[in-house]
Structure 1
Amino acid sequence: MQPSRRLRLFARSLACSFVSIALLTPALPVAAEQIALGQSELCGLDTFRPDRAGTLREQVVEGRNGPLAYYRFGHGTPVVLITGYRASIAEWDAYFLGELARHHDVIVFDNRGVGRSTGVTGRYGPDYGMRDMAADAADLIAKLGLRRVAVVGWSMGGMIAQELVAGSHRGIDRLVLIATAPPGPRATPLAATTGEVLSSHGPDAFGKIMGVLFPPDALSDAMKCFASDMFALPGYKETPFDDAVAAQQNRAMERWFADAAAANALRRVTVPTLIVAGERDDVLAHANAEALNELIPRSQLRIVDDAGHAMMFQYPLALARMIDAFVQR
């Protein structure tokens, strides 16, 4: 064999080896990007909101733990949204959902124990965690026969979404995590005083809760427009939030912040992931998003200037368009 030919064969073999290594090595997370979404869109929007179409009806599927209540609207690739602590379907911003529905088949549902998603004692018993609530989301996706799904999780819903893709991400094409936190010791849990505010009752509770969900310069608009911008559907029976369910969600989050095994599982997630955090989030600090970005290999992080924890109410159209661009990519 001529030396030059041997050299060419060696070079080709070496190149193939590097290609194989590249294919087997998870993509690195993309460095954080600081962005601005323009003027706050809270208050005064005049655009489509699906809850005023007059055609939506609440539907129910049976999951392994009991009924799961959901609404479905829009056209396009499916997007399943998972809501947060002490939240129901109604806590989504209607304009945010409407903007997503322009290009997507949008599914919103209540976590177990909320609204008509009443199963809290089935095979998992009354004590349940993120993995159990992720199983509920997986049941909904399977029962609806969804394929190439984008899962969007906000706050505690982002924790459920992480558990969902870490456990089994068959059929999940994209993951979007908004204002949430990773599992394990690298997380920065919400302060006890913040948790007390979010769980508060009484005539002054609304103002206190708005004060931790929004930065000071958005608070006035939030006080005026938060309730009117909520996803308000005729026929949706939002029951008072059960204190036992809130306590269980609290326990689930406490275990989440101590779950090192779940953090290690995220390192093996291959689903492309968009992490969005508010620079002025007083509930779950954006240090959580930075930790998530380091844990999830194929992730990108965007930190939004002047955004608080409920950024889908502050920037409903801009945030929906950001998600749409990521899902369609």
Structure 2
Amino acid sequence: MDTPSTVATAVNTPTRFVEVKGRRLAYRELGKGVPIILCLRFRGILDSWDPAFLDALAARHRVITFDYSGLGQSTGTPSYVRTRLAQDAVDLADALGLERFVIGGWSLGGIAAQIVARLHPERVIKTLLIGTTPPGKVRLPAKPIFYERALKPVNDLDDETVLFFHPESEKSRAAAVASHHRIAARTTDTSPAIPIDTVMRMLAETRSEDVFVDDNGYRDFLKTTNIPTLVISGDQEIVFPVENWFDLTPQTKSVHLMAFPQMGHGPQHEAPQLCADLIASFIQNL
């Protein structure tokens, strides 16, 4: 009697590779349906996503995550130049034969996602932005504690709690522990962490820039595009304060802003099912 095959989850789905433009991009995918390409945060690798969020999202959609060029399991030249991050997502879509797709991203990845939408609007079905910033000058910068924790050579659970959750909330601290353990459940076929010297070198390459330089009409694009765009943020965001969206959103035609109370920079890790349900409804109904 045949044994049933193992159900694919974010913890066990294999890393796959595509060769494109002289480099190898590492990616993973789950689920079926409308394809969603998710771009990573600062210092993020394939294993930085909470499996519970990816599994919940993959229950209704085809979810694709990847390592940027030269980072994690991908080869090539590592860079945090925003347009290069966006190009990685587009090249991956090309390699997978995806003419149209939902583009999403967390934090730095949300900037990359906005660039993809601006440069390739005909290919983007919808845009998902989690814990990220709008283009151009903003009213509120990141809090100093973000840089203190984010630039440590190795981040532990306490750092993760400060960076991605709301440490003053008992509920949020408990969610941080639960998310940490879910991510740690994958023990094989994992992407290596980004060495701190590589991180600092990439930062030096972009140090003269604003967080999201509006050098190609990105802000005006957000104001005028008809591409439905969902922004998810915590109201205790220490990296990209949600208040920076308040001036822009009323000037747009298609940006939907959702702020979760008493959550920080990683609401999809604190409330993975809720965020996945919100995204699925957004994709299906708008």
Aligned to 2:4: none
CA spacing shift, 1:65–1:276, aligned 2, 3 Å: farther
2:51 maps to amino acid: A
Cα distance change on mapping 1:292 and 1:316 into 2, 3 Å = farther
Q: Name the amino acid aligned to 2:9.
A: P
Structure 1 residues 256 and 65, CA gap change in structure 2 (3 angstroms): farther
Q: Which amino acid counterpart does residue 117 of structure 2 have in structure 1?
A: V
**Residues 1-329 of structure 1 mapped to structure 2, 5 A cutoff:** 50-52=9-11, 54=12, 56-64=13-21, 66-120=23-77, 129-186=81-138, 188-201=140-153, 205-215=156-166, 216-217=168-169, 218-222=171-175, 224-230=177-183, 232-233=185-186, 235-247=188-200, 248-249=202-203, 251-252=205-206, 255-257=209-211, 259-261=213-215, 262-294=218-250, 296-329=252-285
Answer with 1 or 2: which has the greater Rg: 1
Alignment TM-score, normalising by the size of structure 1: 0.75
| Residue 83 of structure 1: how far off its partner (Å) | 1.4
**TM-score normalized by structure 2?**
0.85
Cα separation, 1, equivalents of 2:207 and 2:226:
24
Cα distance in 2 for partners of 1:231, 1:291 equals: 39
Structure 2 counterpart of 1:259, one-letter code: V
Closer, same or farther: CA 234–197 of 1 in aligned 2, 3 Å: closer
Unaligned runs of 5+ in 2: 1-6
User: Could you tell me how far apart the structure 2 residues matched to 1:236 and 1:268 are?
Assistant: 42
CA contact (8 A) 1:153 1:176 kept: yes
Distance 1:94 1:155, change over 3 A: same
**RMSD between superposed Cα atoms in Å:** 2.5
Structure 1 residue runs without a partner (length 5+): 1-47, 121-125
Cα offsets for 1:269-317 (capped at 9, x unmatched): 3311111111111222111232452565311111111221111111000
Bigger RCO (CA 8 Å, 6+ sep): 1
1-structure distance, mates of 2:207, 2:115: 12
**1:51–1:231 CA contact under 8 A, matched in 2:** no
Q: Deviations over 1:8-41 (max 9, x none)?
A: xxxxxxxxxxxxxxxxxxxxxxxxxxxxxxxxxx
Kindly, what percent of the aligned residue pairs are identical? Answer: 26
